[in-house]
Structure 1
Amino acid sequence: MHSRRWFLSCVAFHGCLYVLGGHNKTSGRLSIEKYDPAEDTWTEIAAMNYYSDELHLEVMDDTIFVIGENRNGEDFLSHVSCFSDKENQWFVSLFVCFFV
């Protein structure tokens, strides 16, 4: 990987491993990378337009879906986004705010 990280999320998609999020000693806003085992290469891909503390990933209908949450004090903001590999672009699908 280009960025050493821990607390990351990953998912297999189109024969590659996609690694999202995580932390290192200097940042919690790390790039998104994919590993192609056929080429044995790591490539940065388009970044999401927000940061999330926790990411949950799933592949459905040829799309990566990401469910993430941000904590703002005692309130929670959750979002669902999807990644188009063909367009190399992220789309925000839904934002939900929970007040505690």
Structure 2
Amino acid sequence: IEDAAIERILAITAGHPHDTQELAHFVWDRGVRLGKLVTSSDVEVALLDVVQAEDAHYTTLWDSLSRAQRAVVQALVVEPTTSPFSEAFR
């Protein structure tokens, strides 16, 4: 696996242990399946595979949110912040 691919995994997951492990698993599996050195572009493909694999989980999670919680999530997508409860974010 290329160093750039590892850096990309960590950038995507922000170092979150579960997310890092899951994405790395999909990346590793892709490398083994294709029998090649894994690159950053393979990480992007593996990320799509993770999203597809977790679709039911994400849907269930979204469906469990209240209307207000969904609005906050949608606002964070449009304008990411580390302080979603700050006055400036409102």
Structure (1 or 2) with the larger CA radius of gyration: 2
Which structure features the higher share of helix residues?
2
TM-score by length of 2: 0.23
Which structure features the higher share of strand residues?
1
TM-score by length of 1: 0.21
Greater relative CO, 1 or 2 (CA 8 Å, sep 6+):
2
